[in-house]
Chain A
Amino acid sequence: MNEEFDEQLRRALRPVDPGEAFTARVLARISPEPRNLRVRWRRAAWIPAALAASALLAVVGLHEWQQRQKEAGLAARTQVLEALRVTSQKLDLAYRLINTSSRPASDRDSGA
């Protein structure tokens, strides 16, 4: 009984050649690596593009910031010069008023 069962099992589990076509189909299904790599590379291609765009944005941003700093600096410089001009004008006015009011008195003091 056992021997018969063993024989049946041996026959059922005997090695069977699947044939070249089947092997080829299986290999084609389990190792599509070259195509996958191409897809991955294609998907990863945006990374250098994004890096380049970021670098470009950073350069443009830096240039813009420098330009604004320069404009603000030149405006501040103009304001400083204008403030000094106004200050000097008013100091000048004060001295002019002092001179014009003190001159006759000094003339009188000199007794000339």
Chain B
Amino acid sequence: MGKLVGTLLVVSLVSLPVFAAAPPLGQLALPSLESLEPQAKDSVSISLDASLLAVAARFLDSGQPEDRAVKEIIAGLQGVYVRSFTFDHAFVYPANAIDSLRKQLHTACWQSIMSVRKGNEDSTVDIFICQLQQKARGLAIIAVEPRELTIVNIVGAIDLDKLHRLEGHFGIPRLPEAK
């Protein structure tokens, strides 16, 4: 009996960090794109987890309409991750890294809501949403342009209506009606 309790205790202690470290549903393991950085003219790397979003929210002024709208949007989020690279010239497309990312988007909760390929502009934009029990748990965007590569992963309850309200601010366009 004592051995059993001891074993259970050890197993639970060993597995505790595994459960604690499990990423929330809707969070992708973004590939390392460090090789692109030296080639890039500009690069943006943003990693905001839930605690940093909470800190950011404290510095958004609810008295300002734009800040209030942003605050409402990030209130339901658990993470915002952006990798964006802008180049002066055509860049070497990191096929392996993007393929590994796309593989993650084939798992249960993810579904493609928009996939646009424009041959003459040589641009593609794929938008995926992770849904569980009809609630959005994550958003992913992979945008490849001739001189730009952008990956966005927003984790958490994304309210498209609230994004609607941000229309006009930060250049956010009108989204299609959520069904």
Interfacial residues, chain A to chain B (CB-CB below 8 A): 69-70, 72-74, 76-77, 79-95, 97-98, 100-101
Contacts and interface: CB of A to CB of B under 8 A. Distances in A.
A14 to B, nearest CB: 85
B172 A91 contact: yes
B55 A76 contact: yes
Interface stretch (B23-31, B33-41, B45-53): B45-53
Give chain B's interface residue range (CB within 8 Å of chain A): 35 or more
Contacts of A82: 44, 46, 82
B175 A91 contact: yes
Contacts of B145: 93
Nearest to A73: B59
Interface of B: 44, 46, 48, 52-53, 55-56, 58-60, 70, 73-74, 80, 82, 84, 114, 116-118, 121, 123, 125, 127, 141, 143, 145, 150, 152, 154, 166, 170-175
Contacts of B73: 84
Given A76-B55, A77-B59, A81-B170, 4 more contacts: A86-B84, A87-B154, A91-B141, A93-B125
21 contacts: A73-B55, A73-B58, A77-B56, A77-B60, A79-B52, A82-B46, A84-B170, A86-B44, A86-B82, A87-B152, A88-B170, A90-B125, A90-B152, A91-B175, A92-B171, A92-B172, A93-B145, A94-B116, A94-B125, A95-B174, A97-B117
Contacts of A88: 166, 170-173
Contacts of B173: 88, 91-92, 95
Given A73-B56, A91-B173, A79 B48 contact: yes
Contacts of A89: 150, 171
Nearest to A80: B56
A76 B52 contact: yes
Contacts of B44: 82, 86
Nearest to A101: B118
A8 B166 CA distance: 118
